[in-house]
Amino acid sequence: MSESTKPQKHEFQTEVRVLLQLMIHSLYSNQEIFIRELISNGADALDKVRFEGITKPELLDGDSDLRIDLHVDEEARKIVISDNGIGMNEEDLLNGLGTIARSGTRDFMKNLTGDSKDDMSLIGQFGVGFYSVFMVARNVEVLTRKAGEEKAYLWSSTGDGEFQLSESSKDSRGTIITIELKDDEDATPFASEWKVKEVVNKYSEFIAHPIWMTVLPKPEKDDDGELKPSEEKEAARLNEKTAIWRRPAKDVTDENHKEFYQQISNDFAGEPLTHTMQHIEGMQEFWSLVYVPTKAPFGLFNQDRGHGLKLYVKRIFIMDDCKDLLPTWLRFVSGVVDSEDLPLNVSREILQDNRIIASIRKHVVKKTLASLQKMADDKPEQYTGFWKEMGVVLKEGFYMNYEWLDELKSLMRFNSTSSGTDEVISLKDYVSGMKDDQEVIYYITGENLKTLTSSPLLENFRAKGYEVLYMADHVDEFMMGGLTEFDGKQFKDISRGDVELEKTDEEKKVEEEQQTSYQKLCESLQNTLNETVETVRVTSRLKDSPCVLVNKEDAMSAHMERLMKQMGQDNMPTSKRILEINPEHTICQTLQSKAEAGDELGDWPTVLLGQALLAEGSPLPDTNAYVQAVNKLLS
């Protein structure tokens, strides 16, 4: 056993100081979460030593009875939480309890606004770890010894700018945290065995390791049948023995699910929208418990955000964020898989091409998609809520992916010319509303719903009552690379090539005449706009606008070109477009007379092209030239 050394003072990192200030001064509600945070740290430490002990049994040193112990000294106002987990050495203490290590804390700090009210509500959304103890503690001591090492350390702090660190002694591995409660009213409830027990029951029921607490046992009857109050405290187990995901589904309450979901997703203010539980036996055996959240998880589109499920093997925690268990397009879910068949020493590399993992993944995806489909069928309003939050991620399932396409198609929802921008419809709804002569599913892509709803390309569709799907999410263009057909019907981008809507004989006749009578104007516009425009032609698709730009059938859409440019593909060749003019529009009629008479068109071609570009949300190649041209015409 080593001698204790003189404590050395260390300053907390700046961010920790800010966080501590916030904890201590602004946070008056929900102090109890410190118990949850410390127990979850203890459980992590137990997971780690159990996992490392698989390959290095000497770390366990004969003590594999892993547990967390709690003790409340009501009189001295102290709480002691200990674990025989991995423990910490000097470096771990400096890193873990002096700087911000936890991703939740980092996200939390990044999102602080400086407005204490907003910031306080943020605290609820993130797990804020060890430091939350200073909401109630006036002094905290951490005595710890790392598994496999001799030296023990004592860390202590009062939660103001500094902490002390010294070498100390401890008989066995693990960590003992002693919390001295403040004198104020907010901390007082925690100087009670009953209260601490209540909080543990609330938050830590599903912790996979046993949590014990020294409590007075229930009074027992003595020989004379009299109730004899107990004097000696005894350790009692507070949590269930079976991991929540291994319990029969009927034994797990909604409240259990909510708490477990919050714990594993770090979404402490949220609730699961739905969950699926599976126990598969046969060729292989595993349990899974998967939650779909109500709100999109924080940082859903952040590339660095971990995703996947927690992987356990025979109840032993193996890793967080096991990506091989889920496709990226289901990254909004959180949950647990516990396999009986994988070897305990699995590594991320082994998992990648593992047959067992592939099979579990199939089951998990199938069940998750089925539960979403059930929600879509039975509770369409709830599903619409889900779709608005997370549908855009499901859409990613269509690129670079050839699995689950039918299930995904059935889950897709869209705004459309008929449903409007508030309601969404399914592809099945669309097909059942198709007109008799209609063979394809029409859609239009663009930056946002507002630009789309006012697109000139829709004029004739509206007039003739054909429904067009709006695709304004940034992933839609990519999605359409994989979503090519539904129920035998192809998809058709209405900004590409020609779109034939049903025409009467009369309409056909008029159109033919117009093609000939407008030839001069088309040629003239074509000559001036040669650089950008491949062809100019008369169209019947417009009602109120003078002209519109469309793409050749095989060209990339204008929206896709803009997206590629935003993604840094600047040198991509821009394909020439087709300018279609509306023979019924007075501007075109006036211009046609000019062209016929051999007059110059002046600034008109620039203005027409500019308007067509603006209407579809494209930038103008030369804004100045456009403004000047408009001004000249106006004056």
**Closer Cβ to ligand ADP, 302 or 516, answer by number:** 302
Residues 6+ apart with CB under 8 A from 280: 286, 287, 360, 363
Residue with tokens 């396999």: 339
Q: CA–CA separation, 517 vs 588, rounded Å?
A: 12
Task: Check: CB of residue 309 under 8 Å from CB of residue 319.
Answer: no
Q: Taking the complex as a whole, how short is the minimal distance between the CB of residue 134 and ligand ADP, in angstroms?
A: 11
Q: Taking the complex as a whole, how short is the minimal distance between the CB of residue 153 and ligand ADP, in angstroms?
A: 11
- 38 CB-side CA count, 13 A: 32
Q: CA–CA separation, 360 vs 339, rounded Å?
A: 9
CA 217: distance to chain centroid?
A: 45
Q: Taking the complex as a whole, how short is the minimal distance between the CB of residue 37 and ligand ADP, in angstroms?
A: 6
Question: Smallest Cα–Cα separation from 44: which of 347, 318, 321?
Answer: 318
- DSSP code for 291: E
**Closer Cβ to ligand ADP, 83 or 396, answer by number:** 83
**Closer Cβ to ligand ADP, 152 or 457, answer by number:** 152
**Closer Cβ to ligand ADP, 147 or 412, answer by number:** 147
Q: Taking the complex as a whole, how short is the minimal distance between the CB of residue 100 and ligand ADP, in angstroms?
A: 8
**Closer Cβ to ligand ADP, 39 or 529, answer by number:** 39
Residues 6+ apart with CB under 8 A from 116: 22, 26
Question: Smallest Cα–Cα separation from 299: which of 37, 111, 471?
Answer: 111
Binder to ligand ADP among 32, 47, 69, 83 (CB under 6 A)? 83
140 phi and psi, to 5 degrees? -130, 135
Q: Taking the complex as a whole, how short is the minimal distance between the CB of residue 41 and ligand ADP, in angstroms?
A: 3
Using CB atoms within 10 A of its CB, is residue 589 exposed (0-12), middle (13-18) or buried (19+)? middle
Q: Taking the complex as a whole, how short is the minimal distance between the CB of residue 35 and ligand ADP, in angstroms?
A: 12
Residues 6+ apart with CB under 8 A from 93: 142, 144, 153, 155, 165
594 phi and psi, to 5 degrees? -60, -50
Sheet with 309-313, strands from edge to edge, namely 272-280, 286-293, 334-339, 309-313, 316-322
Q: Taking the complex as a whole, how short is the minimal distance between the CB of residue 227 and ligand ADP, in angstroms?
A: 39
Q: Taking the complex as a whole, how short is the minimal distance between the CB of residue 256 and ligand ADP, in angstroms?
A: 23
Task: Check: CB of residue 457 under 8 Å from CB of residue 550.
Answer: yes
Q: Which amino acid is at 7?
A: P
**Closer Cβ to ligand ADP, 144 or 495, answer by number:** 144
Q: Taking the complex as a whole, how short is the minimal distance between the CB of residue 328 and ligand ADP, in angstroms?
A: 24
Q: CA–CA separation, 631 vs 635, rounded Å?
A: 6
Reduced to 3 states, what is the DSSP secondary structure of residue 623? helix
Q: What is the dihedral of CA 94, 97, 100, 105, to 10 degrees?
A: 170
- DSSP code for 353: T
**Closer Cβ to ligand ADP, 137 or 549, answer by number:** 137
**Closer Cβ to ligand ADP, 130 or 190, answer by number:** 130
**Closer Cβ to ligand ADP, 173 or 331, answer by number:** 173
Q: Taking the complex as a whole, how short is the minimal distance between the CB of residue 177 and ligand ADP, in angstroms?
A: 7
**Closer Cβ to ligand ADP, 36 or 559, answer by number:** 36
Per-residue binding letters, 29-58, with ligand ADP (x by CB under 6 A): --------x---xx-xx-------------
Q: Taking the complex as a whole, how short is the minimal distance between the CB of residue 552 and ligand ADP, in angstroms?
A: 55
Q: Count the site residues for ligand ADP by CB under 6 A.
A: 18
Per-residue binding letters, 84-103, with ligand ADP (x by CB under 6 A): -xxxx---x---xx---xx-
Does position 444 interact with ligand ADP (CB under 6 A)? The reply is no
Per-residue binding letters, 145-184, with ligand ADP (x by CB under 6 A): ------------------------------x---------
Q: Which amino acid is at 487?
A: D
Positions in 341-360 near ligand ADP (CB under 6 A): none
Per-residue binding letters, 447-476, with ligand ADP (x by CB under 6 A): ------------------------------
Q: Taking the complex as a whole, how short is the minimal distance between the CB of residue 208 and ligand ADP, in angstroms?
A: 15
Q: Which amino acid is at 279?
A: H
Positions in 197-216 near ligand ADP (CB under 6 A): none
Positions in 359-418 near ligand ADP (CB under 6 A): none
**Closer Cβ to ligand ADP, 336 or 427, answer by number:** 336
Q: CA–CA separation, 350 vs 297, rounded Å?
A: 29
Reduced to 3 states, what is the DSSP secondary structure of residue 523? helix
Reduced to 3 states, what is the DSSP secondary structure of residue 474? coil
Q: Taking the complex as a whole, how short is the minimal distance between the CB of residue 234 and ligand ADP, in angstroms?
A: 24
**Closer Cβ to ligand ADP, 263 or 278, answer by number:** 263
**Closer Cβ to ligand ADP, 154 or 558, answer by number:** 154
Per-residue binding letters, 113-142, with ligand ADP (x by CB under 6 A): ----------------xx------------
Structure tokens at 23: 């904890």
Consecutive H or E run containing 78: strand 78-83
Q: Which residues of the shown chain bind ligand ADP in the complex (CB under 6 A)?
A: 37, 41-42, 44-45, 83, 85-88, 92, 96-97, 101-102, 129-130, 175
